[in-house]
Copies of this chain bind each other. A is one copy, B any other.
Amino acid sequence: MNGLLTDLYELIMAAGYFAADKQEEIGTFEFTIRRLPRNRDFVLMAGLERALDYLLNLSFQEDEIAYLRGLPQFKNAPAAFWDYLAAFRFSGDVFAVPEGSVIYDGQPVMNVRAPLIEGQIAETYLLSAITFETLIASKAARIVHAAAGRDVVEFGTRRAHTPEAGVQGARAAYIAGCAGTSNTLAGFHYGIPVFGTAAHSWILSFATESEAFDQLQKLLEDKTVQLLDTYNTLDAAKLVGQMGGPLWGVRLDSGNFLELSREVRRILPNAKIMASGDLDETKIAQLLEAGAPIDAFGVGTELAVSADAPSMGAVYKLVEIEHEGKIRYTAKRSPDKATLPGAKQLFRFPEYDLLALHDECAGGAKAMLEPWVLGGQLIRPLPSLEEIRKRAQCGLSQWPQGPRRTEHSLALKELNESLLRH
Q: Which residues of A contact B (CB under 8 A)?
A: 2, 4-13, 15-17, 19-20, 22, 25, 27, 29, 64, 67-68, 71-73, 75-77, 116, 120, 123-125, 127-129, 131-132, 135, 155, 157-169, 182-185, 187-188, 194-207, 215-216, 218-221, 223, 229-232, 253-255, 301, 304-307, 310-311, 317-318, 321, 328, 330-337
Contacts and interface: CB of A to CB of B under 8 A. Distances in A.
Contact of A197 (B12, B72, B202): B12
Contacts of A232: 333
Most buried by B among A163, A165, A200, A253: A163
A165 B159 CA distance: 13
Nearest to A71: B194
Contacts of A305: 161, 305, 310-311
Contact of A124 (B125, B157, B206): B157
B334 A9 contact: no
A327 to B, nearest CB: 13
Contacts of A159: 127-128, 131, 311
Contacts of A195: 8
A6 B22 CA distance: 47
A19 B218 CA distance: 9
A76 B220 contact: yes
Contacts of A12: 196-198, 219-220
A205 B116 contact: yes
Nearest to A230: B332
A123 B16 CA distance: 46
Which 5 A-B residue pairings sit nearest by Cβ, starting from the closest? A9-B196, A161-B161, A127-B158, A8-B196, A204-B330
User: What is the copy number of this chain in the assembly?
Assistant: 2
A373 B372 CA distance: 48
Given A8-B184, A127-B159, 14 more contacts: A5-B167, A6-B183, A7-B183, A16-B216, A16-B219, A19-B219, A22-B205, A124-B157, A159-B311, A161-B305, A162-B164, A204-B331, A229-B335, A254-B337
Contacts of A202: 13, 16
A164 B5 contact: yes
B231 A332 contact: yes
A161 B170 CA distance: 13
Most buried by B among A205, A207, A231, A305: A205
A162 B130 CA distance: 8
Contact of A166 (B17, B123, B128): B128
A199 B317 CA distance: 10
A81 to B, nearest CB: 10
Contact of A254 (B64, B216, B230, B336): B336
Contacts of A7: 155, 157-158, 182-184, 196
A132 B182 CA distance: 19
A335 B205 contact: no
A201 B124 contact: no
A341 B68 CA distance: 51
